[in-house]
Amino acid sequence: METKRPTVPAAEEILGGYFPVLDHGFVALVDYMGTDQDIEGAARVSYGHGTRKVSQTRGLIRYLRRHAHTTPTEMVEFKFHCSMPIFIARQWIRHRTASVNELSARYSLLPLLFYEPQPASFAYQSSSNNQGRQAEPAPAALYTKAVERWEQLREEAAETYEWLLAEDVAREIARIDLPLSTYTQWYWKIDLHNLLHFLTLRVDSHAQWEIREFGRVMAGMLQRVAPLTYEAWIDYNVLGTHLSYGERAALSRLLHSDNGGLSVREDAVPLTADDLGELGLSGRETSELLEKLGQPERPDFSLDLSVMKSAEEMRARMTDAVPVSAK
């Protein structure tokens, strides 16, 4: 039976397909409800939106995004099936605006899959960011020693888990010493407004690299479901920025409007650190302003369809990793 639901060919192409993330993780778009046109329809509350030109729909969506009129985007929803290391899941779940159903190790058997960072993402603690790592990888010799320790710990944890299950110990007890690198999975349903908030934070360069990899794939899925909203999100949220009063005041000393355009003020003089301090900008705020004024590189979140797996392939991989003694 032909559906009467609004669909997008680019989204239908990936629906139910599984995209690998990290070493054992994945993201799949299980279902979606609504398109860019539904956002326009909600904003106009009319039946005539479907006859409008794409340029008109694009203009409205960009206006809504630019002025933070967010409720129309709540009319579009996404449902994902995701698998990620537990330590990433605990960051992810901080976004409390989604419906989540996670694999329960109290009555399900956990696949014994563990995340292992690659050498390029194994680094020392950042000296300027208490939450992050340095950009440069740590020495290869240190990485080799870390892998040896990880493998030893995980082997012992996996053997203990399998032994307890084989002894018919309750699953809720058998799981308790599995490490945070163990993969879990869930179904995650969220409306587009909250998905955009999640992605804005999680594709940002300040987010942990591992969760950014999940964000990249989900952004690629968004691009296929609602391309006009995706474009506006990139322009206004990912590449756009907000200016404080002090930052605006600093720029107004250098620039002024001229016949609908911008030009450098004739009386403009270079602003010193003291000048910026008088406007209320600290040293860190000044650095952030300079960063805001830089030319950003446009990200490419396009999906690579050559890596997409079927549900059957992914299910087989998960099943093969379940403890043999408990099957």
Cite the active site residues: 202
Characterize the bridge pairing of strands 183-191 and 99-102: antiparallel
Residue 181, Cβ neighbours under 10 Å: how many? 19
Encode burial over 155-178: b for 16+ CB neighbours within 10 A, e otherwise: eebbeebbebbeeeeebeebbeeb
52 DSSP assignment: S
CA atoms of 49 and 42, how far apart (whole Å):
9
Question: Which three-class secondary structure state does DSSP give residue 21?
Answer: strand
CA atoms of 186 and 244, how far apart (whole Å):
39
Provide the β-strand partners of residue 28. 18, 81
Question: Which three-class secondary structure state does DSSP give residue 295?
Answer: coil
CA atoms of 141 and 56, how far apart (whole Å):
58
Provide the β-strand partners of residue 19. 27
CA atoms of 190 and 77, how far apart (whole Å):
6
**Residue 286 · residue 78 · CB < 8 Å:** no
List of E strands, the chain: 18-21, 25-33, 77-85, 99-102, 183-191, 255-258, 261-264
As a whole number of Å, the CA-based R_g of the chain is: 24
Phi, psi of 26 (to 5 degrees): -160, 165
Taking CA atoms, 178 is separated from 53, 106, 319, in Å, by: 55, 13, 18
Q: Which of 84, 79, 37, 33 is nearest to 61 (CA)?
A: 37
